[in-house]
A and B are shown apart, each in its own frame.
Chain A
Amino acid sequence: MKQWSHEFLLRLRALFSKRRLDREMADELAFHQQMLKEKLVQQGVPVRDAERVAQLRFGNDARWHERLRELWQFRWPENMRRDIGYSIRVLRKSPGFTAIAILTLALGVGANTTVFSIVNGLLLRPLPVPESDRLVILEMLRGFPDPVEGFSEPMFRALENRHDSFAEVFATFHTEAEIKGESGTERAHVELVSGDFFAGLQSPPLMGRVLTRADDRKGGDLNGFAVVIGEGFWQRWFNRSPNVIGEKLRVDNTLFTVVGVMPKRFIGEDPLQRPEIFVPLAAEPAMDGDQNLTTGGLNAWWLTIMARLQPGVTMEQANARLAAESGPILRQVNADQSWIEKREKEHFRLVAESGSTGYTYTRMVFRKPLAAVFAMCGGVLLLACLNLASLLMARGAARQRELATKLSMGATRARLVQQLLVESLLISLAGTVFGLVMAPWVGESLSAMLLAGQFETNIDTNLDLRVFAFAAAIAVVATLLVGLVPALQATSSGLNEQMKQGQHTTQAHERQRLLPRVMMAIEVGLALLLVVGAGLLTSSLIKLYRSGAGFDARGLESIAVSMDHQSLRGEALMQFYRQVGEELKRQPGVKSVSWQWVVPLAHMTWDENFYALGGREEDIHENAIAPEYFKSMHIPLLSGRDFRWDDRASSGQKVIINRTAAKLLFRDRDAVGQTINKKNEKKVIPYEVIGVVGDAKYEDVRSAAPPTIYHAMTQGDKDQAPSFNAVVRMDGSASGLAAAARSIVQKINPEIPAPKVSSMETMVDESLSAERTMALLSAFFALCALGVTAVGLYGTLAYSTARRTTEIGIRMALGAKRTQVARMVFAQNSAIALAGTSGGLACAFFGSKLLASFLYGTSVRDPWIFAGSIMILALIASAASLLPALRAARIEPMRAIRCE
């Protein structure tokens, strides 16, 4: 050890004083020569002869220096430098190979790094708060296979004060609210937070103070409700005024006093959200008026609960305590014995899960698709590596004489392997750099695609240390995968034999040529897997689009009119909507206008239990609509009639149901004229069915149309929120619609915020964004896989055929026909393709089940897709093999034999 470090230090010194070292060597040798000369002269040799003798004994100065200098150099970097130089020369000699190699790897590495950066931003990056590993997310087990995260307010209040395992328990809810101040009105991202939110996240304010338990009380403190704003909002709204503390801010018609400003780096508990304003949870009833979620009590499950573990308490202990407390908490929030029994039957239990990366709903949605995409990426990378390895191996075979010559000149096998590995390292380094350069750009568009339609979310896909480490790991693995096997094989024993025998020894390498073939076969199998996967996902997406939403989304616009904070109610409100509808209808391009309460595909649900006389209670989705709704939506009216504006509450509750609901409630009987009942507390409310319409999707496009009941909005009960959405059937461009809607609404009442227009067609697209992204990516990966495989099949065959030129020449000289030669070469790849396809097919047959949860209306073993994928691969393989086969057939026998 000591000796090693001594040597290292001396060499290090030599590295930095090369010049001095060289001069000293020269001086030392000159001195020796001089002494030698003097000795000779003393012995009587003439001066001139002495000089010549000394010169002869010493030989070439440069050689001396070289030898001594070598001693003083670090051997490893010196060899490395030479290997790199040599490798660059070799790689430059075959630019086609190099370009393909780098591109294939760049693709593999780039795709993996990109997807990893998204996985990192979404799943791995810890929240930027102190000791984020002590944070937990609370969930409920309620008889479903997966835990549920949405809590009700009473449940949270029951948990908030239990400090035996948690230092702080806090609840949050993200929403959009109307902000009014001296500088105008705008909508902003508001987060409702409970008292211990900031304490739990241990985040200090930039100025002022944070919200505390004292702020989270009904009515706030003496000065009303307090609010904390984000740095961005402070800048935008208050122009970074230092006197912001104490300023008033009206949020959803509720007066707040600014008490603090949070720094920009504070993003709350959801890594994808960027809330601008934090208001106390207790302010929700005031902000949301009669439709507030807090009074919804145990019927509104809307809060995300997180907690910080008490110092010293482990996750297991916290979970054990939560399990024990689940029963008492239930009894605390509701005295109703039947309700408690129902929960107990569901095996209701509270659990804590690690919350170090924060809580985000998106994570739950995309965890599985991301895993699938990641797996596909891995497949592409593996494919790229296999491909390069087999190409290198084929090249190694072609370079065997070069290597054998080096071995015979005294190079050790380790040195040769190192040299070959350097070559593949260079390739994978270039590929990785190329891939990394592309990664952020692709990552951004990919995450934008994933998150399409989600309100103001962003995944931080920046390349951080973890991403770089990942890319580096990939590069190293790729180098080894790509380089090691070919290098070991190319330098294996028996090289001397080969050198003696040149390229005639076809028999001898038969075994060696098996490995690249097996690798190519695996590659073909992998490619088949990717193609089958892409085929299944794409066909599922097409089926989703074809199955449609049940209504015609093309040319359909939805206009959200926010009336929650207006005083209009009842008859006057209906009059308002009718008037707005009439005015909208007069706009150019508008064909018909109606209203609906729930916008389909917006992931909103309104459902209750209904029953037909003598039938079971069924869970049925509901919506409240205006007349001409079905005409505007292009939903067929199958029987009965539409609503009219004069269907009033007084004329008896009338409903229209969809075909599925009719079948569920009335089987084969005609539903029109029948009665549906709803139990409401002690009363039974009857509804008369006046029409049956076609099925339309409700929450999303993936799920089948649920049984649905349409109420007339004119008969609305008092629970119904006053904000409706116009459905506008357009013929032509909808570009002027937003401006028109705003002027119509504000002409009636300037207090009403500008309505929001969104295209239903875009909503269908966005509702399928995960499916679309997956199908698109899988198709892209499959295409890449096909391309890479084609190159690999062509490359390996071309190399091996080139090496057999003489053999083929002899065969032809002995009478083999050109077609026979072509067939022989072609057959080589056919065997590989056949083996690979059957292997891949077997894997696909059993593995495609993993995709089952992503597929809609598509069997995981769809025979057409399997057959089609095999066809595509067969075609690609044939195309890739044809060229070398034809080239082999064109070999001139005489020239081929002479060339050795």
Chain B
Amino acid sequence: MESIHDAGDLIPGTLEMLILKALYRGPQHGYAVAEWIQGTSQQVLKVEEGALYPALHRMELRGLLKAKWGASENNRRAKFYELTADGHKQLQSESRRWARLSSAVAFVMQAS
């Protein structure tokens, strides 16, 4: 049985939320999503392809994302992902959950 490569440096379960956030600004292909997360997190969060694509496909299946083939910035054929209405909703609830969780963790860690 294979173990799931859920992003070496990522907190488990957050990859989907990050993908949703990355696509919030508009349709993107997989490479751009990975680059954006890496760049925005200042190279702290590394997204492995082995985790990224299964996650993208899973989300497409669940109806959070919609896929379309289009031309990339350097004019290559690429698969673009886009948030659906469900995806938007999911992003909202995920960010709220994350805000609660991170502040709670912060509280605990700051306790003396």
Chain A interfacial positions (CB closer than 8 Å to B): 2-3, 6-7, 10-11, 24, 27-29, 31-32, 34-36, 38, 57-59, 64, 67-68, 71-72, 409-411
B79: interface (CB < 8 Å): yes
A64 to B62, CA, bound (A): 20
Known contacts A6-B62, A31-B77: A36-B31 contact under CB 8 Å: yes
A contact residues around B53 at 8 Å (CB): 28-29, 32, 64, 68
| Least Cβ–Cβ distance between A69 and chain B, in angstroms | 10
A7 to B65, CA, bound (A): 12
B contact residues around A411 at 8 Å (CB): 1
A34 to B31, CA, bound (A): 10
A35 to B76, CA, bound (A): 10
B61: interface (CB < 8 Å): yes
B54: interface (CB < 8 Å): yes
B62–A72 touching, CB < 8 Å:
no
**Which residues of B from 45 to 77 have beta carbons under 8 Å from A?**
49-50, 53-54, 57-58, 60-63, 69, 72, 74, 76-77
A contact residues around B60 at 8 Å (CB): 10
- 17 residue pairs bridging A and B, Cβ less than 8 Å apart: A3-B63, A7-B61, A11-B61, A27-B77, A28-B30, A28-B53, A28-B79, A29-B53, A31-B31, A31-B76, A32-B30, A35-B72, A59-B50, A71-B54, A71-B61, A410-B1, A411-B1
Give the B interface residue count (CB, 8 A). 23
Tell me the dominant secondary structure on chain A's binding face. Answer: helix
A203 to B107, CA, bound (A): 86
| Least Cβ–Cβ distance between A6 and chain B, in angstroms | 4
A contact residues around B69 at 8 Å (CB): 24
Known contacts A7-B62, A32-B49, A57-B49: A68-B54 contact under CB 8 Å: yes
Known contacts A24-B79, A410-B1: A3-B29 contact under CB 8 Å: no
A72–B79 touching, CB < 8 Å:
no
Chain B interfacial positions (CB closer than 8 Å to A): 1-2, 29-31, 49-50, 53-54, 57-58, 60-63, 69, 72, 74, 76-79, 86
Chain A's closest residue to B32 (CB) is A35
A29 to B58, CA, bound (A): 16
Chain A's closest residue to B63 (CB) is A6
Q: Which of A3, A31, A72, A410 contacts B78 (CB 8 A)?
A: A31
A3 to B85, CA, bound (A): 12
B contact residues around A10 at 8 Å (CB): 60-61
A411 to B2, CA, bound (A): 11
A2 to B62, CA, bound (A): 9
A contact residues around B76 at 8 Å (CB): 31, 34
A contact residues around B49 at 8 Å (CB): 29, 32, 57-58
Query: Which of B1, B57, B58, B74 counts the most chain A CB atoms within 10 A?
Result: B57
A contact residues around B77 at 8 Å (CB): 27, 31
B contact residues around A72 at 8 Å (CB): 57, 61
Known contacts A3-B63, A7-B63, A68-B53: A35-B31 contact under CB 8 Å: yes
B contact residues around A2 at 8 Å (CB): 63
A contact residues around B79 at 8 Å (CB): 24, 27-28, 31
A760 to B51, CA, bound (A): 88
A3–B58 touching, CB < 8 Å:
no
A contact residues around B1 at 8 Å (CB): 409-411
